[in-house]
Structure 1
């Protein structure tokens, strides 16, 4: 069968982009069988370039890089795009205006699954940018009607530090897993019925056994939605 070509904006970090590549190929194989795999193009950033702009609050400059990469994928023949990171969905509106391709937002398949499972009040883990700014929480609340809670300032700093100092560098530490378990426990005590793993690296650290409530892995759900769109 004809597949749509998935354009993947990756490298933020390459660790999670490698998971995206594995998941979309496994998803196509499982759907079509045999030797089938996904038709995709990936632009992979040097993540340090993006991370510096994030730290310096130069989001417009970061969005410029994202737009340039998206246009490269469009010229290369991609049929639709996915941003293989939660945080850089801050550039989502800029990308939508800059390319004539559908852009599959990572929060949408996540929210749809959460609603289908009957949850309303959700805890959000991610980078400090994702947890504190409105570009992500606002979409979950305004478009999908979810009640989103985030950790307190101390816990947000811990979650953010572990992402940048460990997970994006391929370090998976038992002490950090314990720290995340504690943060999740406090979100559940505050009323969270489910937890969104709102950074594409967090699934490298924690799984269902680490939480008393369901975890929603944005990486897996986003990749599955991309497969569904690619196969029509």
Structure 2
């Protein structure tokens, strides 16, 4: 989960096994594509708490989040629709508009910082690269497992 990574450093200190920090994994993927300014979509908590911005800033990446009304819409769609398996064309269009707004603010890509958002939008739906954090994290875990 994305939200758990607010306390990833504390978790790593408390256990003796490696933790693949999702924010580091996302930053690596963004930088591989030359992205230094990204949009972020997720729960209200993920977009507003600042741990994502701080984690990516360590890698020189600036984070742009939607305006308040759009953060509220994203949060509502996640909890009222996506986690229930409901995919509405109207919500897809609203998310596309939000991503377009982020792009207008200089975002070169958009991080999908919630496990459910990729059910609604992907690379084919918007004109900037989309970064599915769960897919990125799973690939990083697989690479780690194969190399150790």
TM-score, normalised by the number of residues in structure 1 = 0.61
**Inter-partner Cα distance in structure 1 for 2:52 and 2:63:** 10
Task: Tell me the residue number matched to 1:194.
Answer: 109
Deviations 1:53-80 (A, max 9, x none): xxxxxxxxxxxxxxxxxxxxxxxxxxxx
Q: Gaps (5+ residues) in structure 1?
A: 1-84
Match of 1:211 among 116, 126, 131: 126
Q: Gaps (5+ residues) in structure 2?
A: none
Trace 1:1-232 onto structure 2 (pairs within 5 A): 85-141=1-57, 143-232=58-147
Aligned Cα root-mean-square deviation (Å):
1.1
Give the Å deviation of 1:187.
Answer: 0.5
> Residues 219 and 97 from structure 1, CA distance in 2 versus in 1: closer, same or farther, beyond 3 angstroms?
same
**Inter-partner Cα distance in structure 1 for 2:26 and 2:12:** 20
Aligned length: 147
**Inter-partner Cα distance in structure 1 for 2:68 and 2:85:** 25
Q: Verify the 8 A CA contact 2:38 2:111 in the aligned structure 1.
A: yes
Task: Tell me the residue number matched to 1:77.
Answer: none
> Which range moved further: 101-110 or 91-100?
91-100
TM-score, normalised by the number of residues in structure 2 = 0.94
**Inter-partner Cα distance in structure 2 for 1:90 and 1:109:** 14
Q: Which runs of 4+ in 1 moved over 6 A?
A: none
Give the Å deviation of 1:93.
Answer: 2.6
Give the Å deviation of 1:194.
Answer: 0.7
Secondary structure at the residue paired with 1:123? strand
Give the number of the structure with larger relative contact order, counting CA–CA contacts within 8 Å between residues 6 or more apart.
2
Give the Å deviation of 1:158.
Answer: 0.5
Secondary structure at the residue paired with 2:60? coil
Larger Rg: 1
